[in-house]
Structure 1
């Protein structure tokens, strides 16, 4: 027992490496900088629905503890002029300098769901009809609200998404050592994600694209299964793309979750990578059962989902867990897919692979297993 605990602690310590940048940057901007005078600076609006508990701590707004009710907020994220696609130029400390770093400005916390829906509805109506989609992003394990907002803004900006990103932020403590706490927070948040989804639909978006990362996929799949068992899956026809990036789900559990969804409606894109070190640790903790994000792609494709294998795609991360957003070619490829509503474009097909396998997508070493999904919806 001691040996197992020591091994896990050692592995997590390697991934943690150091304390990292501060999260207390919400609304904390260098007062000497005039945002309007920063040439080349861009802005990205991000809405949030969260199961986190509110906090009075400066620069945070919501903590890693679990709230009794959903909280709602709206932020503007500024993206520096020299931003590099796939990167998040985070400030190491507050206040942020928007000339060279991401900054979170103009925070608004709504008093309840009605003002949240009304503001989101106005935001959508203020845009051209083609830009009235919502990108619903569900973050993963070990993620603070600040990190989730920054990631959603970076992904929306770098992918070229022209609608409005909305983060569903469940109560992760943002610590490598709180895996079990985070896992239980996911389970507690299931009904709240359904509630948030219904509120987003009240704002009348043209459509909703769903992107989940890591442990956020566990929450996403639980909600999809629950909706299907209740006869609500694919009812509104609003949800179009469901992208599951690096899913931290026991592969056997994933098979069980999919049993609740008719095979004809299993229209998911599953992004995997065999060299994902974060999922390797999760697999170790789970008794050596593969995680969906590093499972056999053909096994997953046999379940009726489309698998996008990123194993050969090079990235700069040491743990290779966020290729969907970190790799410029990948995030832009996803963006083109979301924008057009079409299938992933293919440039070549190898002659020595099965018919359901397509290789070299847009000159990126990606392999796709399985059929191409259709648009879907979730009431």
Structure 2
């Protein structure tokens, strides 16, 4: 177990090597060909006295609101799915993501005023919740990348919770999501209650998916049901105990929103999470093929991304780093369309080279099936428990050998 965690820490640290911290000081220079992404940020983090950082990983009081403008380099100078972090500061908007403006907002009235100027003709809003091990600036830049690369016609709202951005602070981060449930629920409710907003998409990654589900569960219990304007809930690599998800789903009382899960059976981060959680399956690790009979009965769509090439060492961020998937989010899911095999061929988008031997569009890369609550029924999982335990032993024994993947 310790070996697996150390490996995970090494991989995470390797991905950040050479990257400066504190990129949120606005730069004066701008580039005509660059794209600007304006977003509203709601956070439960404690503010920092350092204006280059803005917010720490500690817990604050209440909800703080800010408006950010992020510059993204010209498409000819960047790769879709990637955040171009500056190698030195100040950032160069010609080649780097850069902060152009930051404006603290005082209360709900100021936030509604921000919507006045940024709600698109579609009147859609996307609310994003980041995952474990994220600095404030990580969440801001990643969401800006997703909005830009997906081509989504939305007003972007980022909800960021206190994360210390240290791999060994997993439990602190987990407790911070509990700390932030009420604030997330209130943020979603305020957006969905705005008469000018017609459609809301909630997208949450990793541990943020647990926070999103808990907030939606609370809302459904407190208010009787979810707002009808919430049309889409996208859970990417959800770090959610499958038994807990069962109770969360039941509390939503047959929601009208389309639920989509992006899962990967080779997600190394979720494998470690499963070990920490006592071997209970994580929602983002389910094998849709094994659960086919259960998956075909309800309206939770599962898209298995295992066969896709991944831009990150942990295979934990395919939803944002894959050009095919991030465009799928913008072109189909945010527009309120349920993705199924008959409507869209992920295999065609990904290309034959990204698919394993013997796989078809109906197989891993192109799998898009309906998932009922039975998929997370403990009785259903017993058939595969021996395989899961054996697989966990193999992962642990070979944790220091990337070739053993």
Normalization by structure 2: what TM-score? 0.80
1:131-210 aligned within 5 A: 132-203=123-194, 204-210=196-202
- 1:306-331 Cα shifts (integer Å, max 9, x gaps): 11111111122211111111000111
- Does the C-alpha gap of structure 1 residues 226 and 108 become closer, same or farther in structure 2, counting only changes over 3 Å? same
* 2:314 equivalent in structure 1: 319
- Does the C-alpha gap of structure 1 residues 49 and 64 become closer, same or farther in structure 2, counting only changes over 3 Å? same
Unmatched runs of 5 consecutive residues or more in structure 1: 350-357, 373-379
Select the residue among 325, 333, 357 that pairs with 1:330: 325
- 1:329-356 Cα shifts (integer Å, max 9, x gaps): 111111111354222232499xxxxxxx
1:281-292 aligned within 5 A: 281-292=272-283
RMSD of aligned alpha carbons: 2.5
- 1:54-96 Cα shifts (integer Å, max 9, x gaps): 1111311111111111000111110101122111111133211
Query: Any conservation in 1 of the 2:225–2:253 contact (CA below 8 Å)?
Result: no
Query: Any conservation in 1 of the 2:262–2:319 contact (CA below 8 Å)?
Result: yes
- 1:195-233 Cα shifts (integer Å, max 9, x gaps): 111222354322111110000000011112222222442
Select the residue among 204, 213, 224 that pairs with 2:216: 224
- Following TM superposition, where does structure 1 have runs of at least 4 consecutive aligned residues deviating by more than 3 angstroms? 4-7, 263-267
Query: Any conservation in 2 of the 1:136–1:208 contact (CA below 8 Å)?
Result: yes
Unmatched runs of 5 consecutive residues or more in structure 2: 348-358, 373-405
* 1:116 equivalent in structure 2: 111
* 1:74 equivalent in structure 2: 67
Following TM superposition, by how much is the alpha carbon of 1:16 offset from its aligned partner in structure 2, in angstroms? 2.2
- 1:168-209 Cα shifts (integer Å, max 9, x gaps): 001111111110000000001000001111222354322111
* 1:24 equivalent in structure 2: 22
Following TM superposition, by how much is the alpha carbon of 1:146 offset from its aligned partner in structure 2, in angstroms? 0.6
> Would you tell me which structure has more helix in proportion to its own residues?
2
* 1:375 equivalent in structure 2: none
- Does the C-alpha gap of structure 1 residues 193 and 285 become closer, same or farther in structure 2, counting only changes over 3 Å? same
Query: Any conservation in 2 of the 1:46–1:76 contact (CA below 8 Å)?
Result: yes
- Does the C-alpha gap of structure 1 residues 157 and 348 become closer, same or farther in structure 2, counting only changes over 3 Å? closer
Query: Any conservation in 1 of the 2:71–2:100 contact (CA below 8 Å)?
Result: yes
* 1:261 equivalent in structure 2: 252
Normalization by structure 1: what TM-score? 0.85
- Does the C-alpha gap of structure 1 residues 10 and 136 become closer, same or farther in structure 2, counting only changes over 3 Å? same
- Does the C-alpha gap of structure 1 residues 166 and 95 become closer, same or farther in structure 2, counting only changes over 3 Å? same
- Does the C-alpha gap of structure 1 residues 190 and 117 become closer, same or farther in structure 2, counting only changes over 3 Å? same
Counterpart-to-counterpart distance in 1, 2:240 and 2:258: 17
